[in-house]
């Protein structure tokens, strides 16, 4: 079968692939522990489930406007106002089937053939593939480990060409868990304004920050930067609603209108029942969000201390999200593997622990461990990794 060039040029999502592989091995009777999945292990809070159930019983089961239910957009506007002091109107918001779909629709709507998009590494796996699916070209700028995996304004300036149309920022970052400070964002923002780059600010891990660190959006830095930014967010991570598939974009009204036209031909609208769930998520009690955050912080502290004790691993302590992204180059070479990819493969096949190799995130010396799983499972995983390394270390 002759597939389109576009479809042939993209790779499957490494994160979803590893998660599926771990699940399949488990189903086949192997005692595999998966630290691959980037999704909270908590149940969706009960009041959200009840609101969704109620909406179904009320017969609210029809199509909604393509950009989402007006009530949900109002809840999102209110959330922006309360949490970030950002003011948006209804025509500046589109609700999509997950933040992933919001990003996809944005790139489809904004990019022309061969337009360039700056993607700092390490990056979340879907950004480059989505840019390529829209005919664009990802331009990688290395967030160096010695700079906490963050990019500098000088590096961005050096990567800009007359083809550059946008830059993706993701703070807190998947996979590194790093956060940009207000000063860092202001300095990066100057370069974006100078070259008229659309700033795609993926803030899906906004609520998951630790040790007093606070998420700041580049749109909060100045009105000028807000006008240059599209914020991407959603309820998947904050309210443990990954399977509900509700995310959104907030930004320039003309762009949002184009995205709405596009969505009207792809999904029609995000699932109606999920939209009612998301209204309850934002309008209801926020204690569950904080409870989950605290649980993640506790897990992070435990796991981090034990991970850095394993020989050959070094790790910057993350400030947000729910991943550790250690450098495992030394662990790989001293256990006899030519790359961290090979080491990660052996960990899965021989020690039955699934991690995501950093190559999928553009950082081949690292591996990603998700701690969005129970403390007991994390304990067992770290025991297995430590034993594997100890037994093979030369």
Binding site for ligand PMP (CB under 6 A): 38, 98-100, 124, 170, 174, 202, 204, 234, 236, 242, 247
Site string (156-195) toward ligand GLU, x via CB under 6 A: ------------------x---------------------
Residue closer to ligand GLU by CB (options 35, 316) is: 35
**Minimum gap (Å) between residue 369 Cβ and ligand GLU:** 11
| Dihedral sign of CA atoms 336, 337, 339, 341 in order | negative
Residue closer to ligand PMP by CB (options 273, 393) is: 273
Q: Report d(CA 339, CA 32) in Å as an integer.
A: 22
Secondary structure (3-state) at 217: coil
Helix (H) or strand (E) holding 202: strand 198-202
Closest C-alpha among 63, 66, 64, 91 to residue 77 = 91
Residue closer to ligand GLU by CB (options 13, 359) is: 13
Q: What is the CA radius of gyration of the chain?
A: 21
Q: Report d(CA 383, CA 373) in Å as an integer.
A: 15
Q: Which residues contact 340 (CB under 8 A, 6 or more apart)?
A: 328, 329, 332, 357, 358, 359, 364, 365, 366, 367
Residue closer to ligand PMP by CB (options 236, 352) is: 236
**Minimum gap (Å) between residue 343 Cβ and ligand PMP:** 23
Residue nearest ligand GLU by beta-carbon distance: 38
Tell me which of ligand PMP, ligand GLU, none is bound by residue 13, counting a contact when its beta carbon lies within the kind-specific cut-off of 5 to 8 angstroms.
ligand GLU
* Interacting positions 108-127 with ligand GLU (CB under 6 A): 124-126
* Interacting positions 5-64 with ligand GLU (CB under 6 A): 13, 15-16, 37-39
Residue closer to ligand PMP by CB (options 236, 260) is: 236
240 binds ligand GLU (CB under 6 A): no
Tell me which of ligand PMP, ligand GLU, none is bound by residue 125, counting a contact when its beta carbon lies within the kind-specific cut-off of 5 to 8 angstroms.
ligand GLU
**Minimum gap (Å) between residue 41 Cβ and ligand GLU:** 13
Residue closer to ligand GLU by CB (options 124, 388) is: 124
| DSSP sequence for 112-126 | -TT-EEEEEES--TH
* Interacting positions 73-112 with ligand GLU (CB under 6 A): 100
Residues in the chain: 394
Q: Which two tokens stand for residue 357?
A: 């190799």
**Residues binding ligand GLU: number (CB under 6 A):** 11
CA 297 from centroid of its chain's CA atoms: 18
Q: Report d(CA 319, CA 214) in Å as an integer.
A: 9
Q: Are strands 229-234 and 247-250 parallel, antiparallel or unpaired?
A: antiparallel
Burial of residue 91 (number of CB atoms within 10 Å: 0-12, 13-18, 19+): middle
**Minimum gap (Å) between residue 107 Cβ and ligand GLU:** 16
Give the footprint of ligand GLU on this chain (CB under 6 A): 13, 15-16, 37-39, 100, 124-126, 174
């Amino acid at each position: 079968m002759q597939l389109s060039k576009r479809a042939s040029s993209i790779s499957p999502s490494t994160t979803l692939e590893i998660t599926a592989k771990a699940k399949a091995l488990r189903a086949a009777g192997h005692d595999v522990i998966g630290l691959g999945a980037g999704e909270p292990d908590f149940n969706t809070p009960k009041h959200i489930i009840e609101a969704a159930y109620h909406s179904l019983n009320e017969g609210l089961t029809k199509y909604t406007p393509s950009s989402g239910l007006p009530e949900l957009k109002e809840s999102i506007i209110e959330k922006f106002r309360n949490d970030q002091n950002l003011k948006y109107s209804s025509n500046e918001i589109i609700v999509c089937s997950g933040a992933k779909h919001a990003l996809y629709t944005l790139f489809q709507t904004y990019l022309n053939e061969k337009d360039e998009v700056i993607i700092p590494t390490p990056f979340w796996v879907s950004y480059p593939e989505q840019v390529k699916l829209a005919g664009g070209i990802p331009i990688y700028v290395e967030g160096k480990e010695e700079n906490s995996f963050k990019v500098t304004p000088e590096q961005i300036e050096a990567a800009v060409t007359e083809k550059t149309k946008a830059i993706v920022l993701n703070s807190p970052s998947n996979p590194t868990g790093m956060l940009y400070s207000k000063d860092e964002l202001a300095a990066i923002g100057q370069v974006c304004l100078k070259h008229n780059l659309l700033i795609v600010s993926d803030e899906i891990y906004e609520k998951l920050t630790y040790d007093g660190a606070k998420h700041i959006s580049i749109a909060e830095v100045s009105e000028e930067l807000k006008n240059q930014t599209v914020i991407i967010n959603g309820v998947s991570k904050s309210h443990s609603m990954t399977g509900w598939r509700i995310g959104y974009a907030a930004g320039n009204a003309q762009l949002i209108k184009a995205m709405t036209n596009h969505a009207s031909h792809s999904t029609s609208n995000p699932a109606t029942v999920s939209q009612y769930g998301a209204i309850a998520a934002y309008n209801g009690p926020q204690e569950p969000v904080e409870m989950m955050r605290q649980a993640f912080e506790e897990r992070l502290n435990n796991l981090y201390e034990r991970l850095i004790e394993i020989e050959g691993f070094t790790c910057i302590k993350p400030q947000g999200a729910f991943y550790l992204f250690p450098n495992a180059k030394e662990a790989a070479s001293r256990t006899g593997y030519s790359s961290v990819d090979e080491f990660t493969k052996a960990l899965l096949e021989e020690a039955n622990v699934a991690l995501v190799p950093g190559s999928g995130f553009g950082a081949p010396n690292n591996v990603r461990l998700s701690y969005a799983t129970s403390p007991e499972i994390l304990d067992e995983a770290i025991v297995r990794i430590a034993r594997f390394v100890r037994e093979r270390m030369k």
